[in-house]
Amino acid sequence: MRRALVERSLKDVHVRLVRARQELAVLEEQLGALSEAADEARIRALVSETPVAGSDYGDAQRHADAAARAHQALKATIDELEHRQDELLSRLGDRN
Q: How far apart are CA 66 and CA 11, in angstroms?
A: 31
Q: Is residue 67 part of a domain?
A: yes
The stretch 17-41 carries a mean pLDDT of: 97
Find the distance separating the first CA and the last CA of the chain, reported in whole Å: 13
- 50 φ, ψ to 5°? -105, 155
pTM value is 0.84
* pLDDT digit string, tens, across residues 37-91: 999 999 999 999 899 999 999 999 999 999 999 999 999 999 999 999 999 999 9
- What pLDDT shows up at residue 60? 97
Task: Please determine, for residue 28, whether its predicted confidence score (pLDDT) is greater than 60.
Answer: yes
Q: Is residue 96 part of a domain?
A: no
Task: Please determine, for residue 1, whether its predicted confidence score (pLDDT) is greater than 70.
Answer: no
Q: Is residue 39 part of a domain?
A: yes
Q: Is residue 23 part of a domain?
A: yes
Task: Please determine, for residue 96, whether its predicted confidence score (pLDDT) is greater than 80.
Answer: no
Alpha carbon of 81 to those of 15, 87, 89: distances in Å?
10, 10, 12
Q: Is residue 85 part of a domain?
A: yes
Domain residues for the domain of 44 are: 3-91
- CA angle 54/39/76 to nearest 5° reads 115
Overall domain count for the chain? 1
